[in-house]
Homo-oligomer: A and B are copies of this chain.
Amino acid sequence: MAGEDRAEGFEKSGDLDFPRPLTTVDVVIFSIRGDQLQVLLVRRPAGEDEPFPQALALPGGFVDVVKDRDLAACAARKLKEKTGVTAPYLEQLGSWGSASRDPRGWSATHAYFALIPEEAGALTPDARWFPIQGGRLKEKLAFDHSDILASAIQRLRNKVEYTSLPAYLMPAEFTLPDLQRVYEIVLDRPLEKSAFRTRILSADMIEPVAKMRRGPNRPAQLYRLKKNSKPVYFVRTFNPPE
């Protein structure tokens, strides 16, 4: 059955009649809400034969070989279904597959992570936002979703050190102090204003709009993301403390 031939790499692939792992896609969806980094989670159904009934989980599910042309389309579909949003930023995170992660049998999930602005979309009723505090989620998740989420948080933090990713968490128009605040929320440490501004402005990723944000103090210049702006990679990280 699960013999050598197959494992050696297609040598007898004319015969495709052997057990296949389950194939799923899960999406880690981040947003900034109320000055916190938050992640979108759904509650699993309650059925008798359900794995992890009622547990919290990442939005996701089985690949649909009819509806989904490829993995990215599948992830985009799940994102759209849960949030109404179409791909501001969607990146593949990695895959997790083993005999034990799903009680129903050998399964492999393709994990993606998405960044969306606070204003975006209309949630489905089964989905809720949960804050990431101290770089972690308090709640336990179904399957190995806690591992996947931890990996997503680490990847996000890492990349925020040397990329413009937080721009995708911003509303259409924002000020430089707004953007710096989002960097600081994700990294959970303060950044130097002066160095921050130099870095962002020299990256040619945002452009000023002819408006200012007014408040009880000096107004701030409003900016927007430049058209078709891909993420920018800086040649240095922010120097992590110590």
> CB distance A51 to B13 under 8 Å?
yes
Q: How far is the CA of A18 from the CA of B20 in the complex (A)?
A: 11
Q: In chain A between 1 and 31, which residues have their CB closer than 8 angstroms to a CB of chain B?
A: 1-2, 6-11, 13-14, 16, 18-23
Tell me whether chain A's interface is mostly helix, strand or loop, or mixed. loop
What copy number does this chain have within its complex? 2
Q: Residue A49 at the B interface, CB < 8 A?
A: yes
Is A236 in the interface zone, CB < 8 Å from B?
Answer: yes
| Residue with the highest number of chain B CB atoms closer than 10 Å, among A11, A63, A69, A100 | A63
A42 touches B94 (CB 8 A): no
Chain B residue nearest to A21 in the complex (CB): B23
Q: With A66-B2, A94-B94 as given contacts, are A78 and B20 in contact (CB-CB < 8 Å)?
A: no
A34 contacts chain B at the CB level, 8 A cutoff: no
* Contact residues in B for A47 (Cβ distance below 8 Å): 14
Interface residues on A, range: 35 or more
Find the B residue at minimum CB distance from A92.
B94
For window 44-77 of chain A, which residues contact chain B by CB distance below 8 Å? Answer: 44-45, 47-51, 57, 59-71, 77
Is A178 close to B, CB under 8 A?
no
In the bound assembly, the distance between CA atoms of A108 and B94 in angstroms comes to: 13
Contacts of A69 in B (CB 8 A): 98-100
Q: Which residues of B contact A35 (CB under 8 A)?
A: none
- Assess whether A202 is interfacial by the CB under 8 Å rule: no
The closest CB in chain B to the CB of A15 belongs to: B49
A48 contact set on B, CB distance < 8 A: 14
Known: A1-B66, A14-B48. 11 other contacts (CB 8 A): A7-B68, A9-B42, A10-B51, A13-B50, A16-B104, A16-B105, A20-B20, A70-B99, A235-B236, A235-B237, A235-B239
Residues of A within 8 A of B (CB): 1-2, 6-11, 13-14, 16, 18-23, 42, 44-45, 47-51, 57, 59-71, 77-78, 81, 92, 94-100, 104-106, 108, 110, 235-237, 239-240
* 26 interchain pairs, CB-CB under 8 A: A2-B64, A6-B62, A7-B77, A9-B42, A9-B57, A9-B61, A10-B62, A11-B45, A19-B65, A20-B20, A20-B23, A21-B63, A23-B97, A65-B99, A65-B105, A65-B106, A68-B99, A69-B98, A70-B97, A70-B98, A71-B96, A71-B98, A92-B94, A94-B95, A235-B240, A236-B236
